[in-house]
Amino acid sequence: MSMLVANPAGGNTFKVWDAPLRLFHWLLVAAITAAFLSSEGDSPIAAWHMAAGWVAAVLLAFRLIWGFVGGEHARFVNFIRPSGIVAHIRGLVAGHPERTVGHNPLGALAVLALFAAVGAVLWTGIQVDAGKADEDIHEALAYGMLALVGIHVAAVLVMSLVTRDNLARAMVTGRKRTALYPGARDARVPGFMAVVLGGVVVIAAVFGITRFDPAAFSPQAHGEAGEGQGGEYTAAGHGENPDGD
């Protein structure tokens, strides 16, 4: 059975990305940007480093469930296609990559790699915060994630140029041009219960995080690993200040 619904307007564009997915995408961009800008202790927004990481954790939890219940092209089953990777690469090498309505095969791998990288950075950040891991590992993973982001952005720009399909704009508007995809129809949108489930996951994630760290979404003192009082992490609510201040 087709997972597409007719475009009643028969206009110049058709629906691809659902609104919750687009909101997730740009909020994650904002959270990662804030995390990097606040990563140094002398940053004017250093106190928000932990909060940015926790926001990214909430977003990741939402995206994982949205990959099963979200709109058509948000679902993992509809864009993870290992069998199409070779053909896609051949098209790239030949200079004529095939346009795809949703993520292309390599784009799907990039999405999964970014999710894994974000998860690894978040986990090591939690371990550093608890004094159970070296911050060098956290930083190395964070820069690895930044490299993946750079590759992703470059790939989006290149694919937009060679396919004449503005991928970044589509992630803003949620729509693509019908002229580039003859016969394309609006993608199936997420149902009401999917939206409810997504909201429940967000609420549950926030609740669980604040149970673990009551100050998670508040500004906290920020320090480099191995610095500060006796090398202990002194963020608010985490670790002890040996001087008792």
pLDDT in tens, 139-156: 999 999 999 999 999 999
Q: Are strands 4-5 and 186-187 parallel, antiparallel or unpaired?
A: antiparallel
The per-residue pLDDT for 169 is 96
The per-residue pLDDT for 179 is 94
State the pLDDT confidence band at 240, using cuts at 50, 70 and 90. Answer: very low
The per-residue pLDDT for 222 is 60
pLDDT per position as a tens digit, 171-188 = 999 999 999 999 899 999
208 forms bridges with which residues in the sheet?
Answer: none
pLDDT mean over 54-82? 95
Surface-to-core class of residue 86, CB atoms within 10 Å of its CB (0-12 exposed, 13-18 middle, 19+ buried): exposed
C-alpha 139/C-alpha 144 separation (Å) is: 8
Do residues 66 and 73 lie in contact, with contact meaning Cβ atoms separated by under 8 Å? no
Q: Are strands 186-187 and 175-177 parallel, antiparallel or unpaired?
A: unpaired
pLDDT per position as a tens digit, 208-218 = 999 999 999 99
- The average confidence (pLDDT) of the chain is 87
Do residues 111 and 117 lie in contact, with contact meaning Cβ atoms separated by under 8 Å? no
Q: Pick the closest to residue 138 from 152, 119, 164 (CA basis).
A: 119
15 forms bridges with which residues in the sheet?
Answer: 175
Query: Sign (positive/negative) of CA torsion 71, 73, 74, 78?
Result: positive
Surface-to-core class of residue 212, CB atoms within 10 Å of its CB (0-12 exposed, 13-18 middle, 19+ buried): exposed
DSSP code of 191? P
The per-residue pLDDT for 96 is 82
Which one-letter amino acid corresponds to residue 5? V
pLDDT per position as a tens digit, 121-140 = 999 999 998 899 899 999 99
State the pLDDT confidence band at 226, using cuts at 50, 70 and 90. Answer: very low
C-alpha 76/C-alpha 108 separation (Å) is: 9
The per-residue pLDDT for 232 is 38
Looking at per-residue confidence, does 54 or 242 come out higher? 54
Which pair of structure tokens corresponds to residue 37?
């800008």
The per-residue pLDDT for 89 is 86
Instruction: Look at residue 104 and tell me whether its pLDDT is greater than 60.
Output: yes
C-alpha 224/C-alpha 136 separation (Å) is: 10
The number of residues in the chain equals 245
Helix 105-129 crosses helix 85-94 at what angle (to 10 degrees)?
A: 110
DSSP code of 95? T
Of 30-39, 66-75, 228-237, give the lowest mean pLDDT range.
228-237
Do residues 38 and 52 lie in contact, with contact meaning Cβ atoms separated by under 8 Å? yes
Instruction: Look at residue 225 and tell me whether its pLDDT is greater than 60.
Output: no
pLDDT mean over 2-22? 72
